[in-house]
Copies of this chain bind each other. A is one copy, B any other.
Amino acid sequence: MRAVVLDGVRSVSVTDVADPVLPGDDGVVVQVEQAGICGSDLHLYHGDLGEPGTRLGHEFVGTVLEAGPAVRTVRPGDRVLVSGVIGCGHCPPCLARDPARCRNGGTAVFGTGADLPGGQAEAVAVPAADAWTLVVPEDVTPTQAVLLTDILPTGYLGARRADIVPGSTVAVIGLGPVGVLALECARLFGPARLFAVDQVPDRLARAERLGAETVDASAGPVPEQLMALTGGHGVDAVIEAVGADRTVSDALLSVATGGTVSVVGVSVNMAFPFPLVLALLRGLTFRVTLASIPSTWDTLVPLLATGRLAPDDVVTHRLGLSEAPEAYAMFDAHAEGVLKVVLDPTR
């Protein structure tokens, strides 16, 4: 079958690889129908993480081809979505759908190493399927299904871990796919004001349509703009959705006393220059989140089903699997009008 493989820095190809086999009695093989490209895939694309040869992709939806005899909840023919982050699947935290706390050291992300080949492929092996797959619910669109594999849960948890309460002021820094979903999710917590920060005009325009007040990062230092907009108090809850040193720093400099900075942007920095004295004066809470994707499904599915969340238009581009090189390049360039790109192996 064909799969997207990392060749080197800013280079991917679509390559023939061996078909996946059932990963144990409790696993399934899924025929992929859609596979998102995630902002965190760019860390591999840029050479910051991972090894050449890695089969990429952790956001995929498809149909079960084969299921091990111990699998209870899905059967061949079921359309399923799969958590991008998994664990051993059998320890208490995994059974409670919290793979980030797997007791057996099994926390892993599809498509980041040889042990767990990715889902930007025609098919993929999924271990411990009862824990990590969900039959696509009737009221959820195919696009929403893809978003439920990673970035909608990540955006939601980023918002939830920002300690937003009714009446809060909130800022989302970075309006890429995760940021814009964090923005939608932040509204679930009743903020009085919601600031959206980016420098790309169409991203700011999208945020404005979602009811946010926009802050153009190219117009001057973000902390100064946010302080001015809040009468010098700062923002109660800042969600950082980029992962760059500059944007994490902007978040820390923009928060109000007693406030929270919640980082969902992925950084690989082991020595980010953190302003401890400022954190003291602000009585800061600072959180970084590796999302336990399935823990959010019971919350998000009803919100999607009733239209309280309507994130479909985050996906702006769909290409065939064979167009993966173009898709990565387009996504990496933050081109005008490009937000989320999904690959379709069935084309």
Interface residue ranges, A against B (CB under 8 Å): 70, 72-73, 90, 92, 95-97, 100-101, 103, 107, 156, 160-161, 165-167, 169, 185, 187-193, 233, 243, 248, 257-258, 263, 266-290, 298-303, 305-306, 308
Taking chain A's interface residues, is the majority helix, strand, or loop, or is none over half, making it mixed? mixed
Q: Do residues A268 and B273 form an inter-chain contact, with CB atoms below 8 A?
A: no
Q: Do residues B288 and A287 form an inter-chain contact, with CB atoms below 8 A?
A: no
Chain B nearest CB, measured from A285 CB (Å): 5
Q: Do residues A286 and B287 form an inter-chain contact, with CB atoms below 8 A?
A: yes
In the bound complex, CA of A147 to CA of B30 (Å): 45
Identify the closest chain B residue to A258 (Cβ): B101
In the bound complex, CA of A145 to CA of B153 (Å): 38
Question: Please, which residues of chain B bring their CB within 8 A of the CB of A167?
Answer: 298-303
Question: Please, which residues of chain B bring their CB within 8 A of the CB of A281?
Answer: 107, 290
Question: Please, which residues of chain B bring their CB within 8 A of the CB of A276?
Answer: 243, 248, 263, 267-270, 272, 288
Identify the closest chain B residue to A190 (Cβ): B188
Identify the closest chain B residue to A266 (Cβ): B280
- CB<8 Å pairs between A and B, sample of 20: A73-B90, A95-B96, A95-B97, A100-B283, A101-B257, A165-B299, A166-B185, A166-B188, A166-B303, A167-B301, A188-B189, A192-B305, A269-B276, A271-B273, A273-B273, A280-B290, A283-B288, A284-B286, A285-B285, A285-B286
Q: A169-B302, A192-B303 are in contact. List 13 more A-B contacts (CB 8 A).
A: A72-B90, A73-B90, A95-B95, A101-B258, A188-B190, A272-B275, A273-B274, A282-B288, A282-B290, A283-B287, A284-B288, A285-B286, A286-B286
Question: Please, which residues of chain B bring their CB within 8 A of the CB of A263?
Answer: 276, 279-280
A-B pairs with lowest CB-CB distance, top 10: A188-B190, A192-B302, A271-B273, A274-B274, A167-B299, A96-B96, A279-B288, A267-B276, A95-B95, A166-B188
Question: Please, which residues of chain B bring their CB within 8 A of the CB of A166?
Answer: 156, 160, 185, 188-189, 299, 303
Q: Do residues A280 and B289 form an inter-chain contact, with CB atoms below 8 A?
A: yes
Partner of A274, one of B96, B100, B161, B271: B271
- What number of copies of this chain does the assembly contain? 4
Question: Please, which residues of chain B bring their CB within 8 A of the CB of A270?
Answer: 273, 275-278
Interface centre among A97, A190, A191, A299 (most CB of B within 10 A): A190
Contacts known (A92-B97, A257-B101); A193 close to B275, Cβ less than 8 A: no
Q: Do residues B267 and A277 form an inter-chain contact, with CB atoms below 8 A?
A: yes
Partner of A189, one of B90, B190, B258: B190
Question: Please, which residues of chain B bring their CB within 8 A of the CB of A258?
Answer: 100-101
Interface centre among A258, A301, A305 (most CB of B within 10 A): A258
Q: Do residues A290 and B286 form an inter-chain contact, with CB atoms below 8 A?
A: no
Question: Please, which residues of chain B bring their CB within 8 A of the CB of A233?
Answer: 103
Chain B nearest CB, measured from A272 CB (Å): 5
In the bound complex, CA of A169 to CA of B188 (Å): 14
